[in-house]
Amino acid sequence: MQKDAYTLIVEAIEQGDYRPGDRLVEADLADRFGVSRTPVREALQRLETQSMLARDGRSLIVASLDHNQLAELYVVRTELEGLAARLAAKHASPEEVRVLVSMLEEDRAHLDDPEAMARANKRFHRQIHLASHNRFLVGQLDLVHRSMALLATTSLAAVGRAEAALDEHRAIVEAIGSGSGEAAQEALRAHISKAFETRLKLDNGALKRR
C-alpha cells in the first residue's frame, strides 16, 4: 500500500530526518516523496492543526515542546502507558509475552547506541500497546508517541540510563507475564516517571550525555 504524504512526513519527523526547528518546504517535500504539492500542502496543514508544526513567520517548522508542554505530555503518557500494561497483563497471549521477552535480550545489543536504543524502546512500548487489545487506547498512544518525536534528544542518551531502562522493561514484562495488572501498571508508571526525571536532568545539564 502506497503511503500518503501525511504518513511520509510524520515518519520522517519520527525518524529524526526533520528535528525541532527545521523548516519544512512544500516543494522540497513533494520532490523528496515523489508526490504532488497539493497532498503535501494538506498534510502540512493537518500537522499544524495537530501542533506537530508551528509557524515561524511565513514558514512552517517542526515544533518543539516547552517545559510545561513536556510535563503535560508525560502526565498523559504515564496514565495511558500504565493502562496499556494493566490491560496487557489481562489480555496478552503467551506468544505476545514471549515476543516481549525476546525483545529484552535483543535490545541489550543496542546499549552503546542511544539512537538504536530509542528505536528499540519504541518497538517495545508499541508491543505492549498492541498486547492491551484495545484499539482506542492504541490510537491515543500513537498520538502521544508521535508528539515524543518533537523532543530533540532521547533520555536514553544519559550515561547509564539505557541499562537501567532495560531492567525496568524486564520488571514490566515479568508483571505482564504473571498476569498481575496492578503490578504491570505500577512498573510501567515507574518506568515513565524515571524517564521523565532523566529527561529533565538532561535538559538542565545535570546529567552527561553519551
Each residue's pLDDT tens digit, 160-183 = 999 999 999 999 999 999 999 999
CA 121, CA 95: separation in Å to the nearest integer? 19
CA atoms within 13 A on the CB side of 196: 18
Domain match, 12 and 72 both: no
**Quick check: 205 pLDDT over 80?**
no
Q: Which helix (H) or strand (E) holds 69?
A: helix 67-91
DSSP 180: -
Domain match, 77 and 54 both: no
**Grid coordinates of 1:** 500500500
The rounded Cα 40 to chain-centroid distance in angstroms is 24
Q: What CATH number is given to the structural domain containing 190?
A: 1.20.120.530
**Assigned domain for 39 exists:** yes
* Alpha carbon distances (Å) from 158 to 76, 113, 116: 23, 11, 14
Q: Note down the domain range covering 53.
A: 5-62
Number of domains present in the structure of the chain: 2
- Count of C-beta atoms within a 10 Å radius of residue 97: 20
- Strand order of the β-sheet with 23-24 is 23-24, 59-62, 53-56
Beta strands 59-62 and 53-56: pairing type?
A: antiparallel
pLDDT digits (tens, 9 = 90+) for 37-66: 999 999 999 999 988 999 998 899 999 888
pLDDT value at residue 2: 66
pLDDT bucket at 131, cuts 50 / 70 / 90: very high
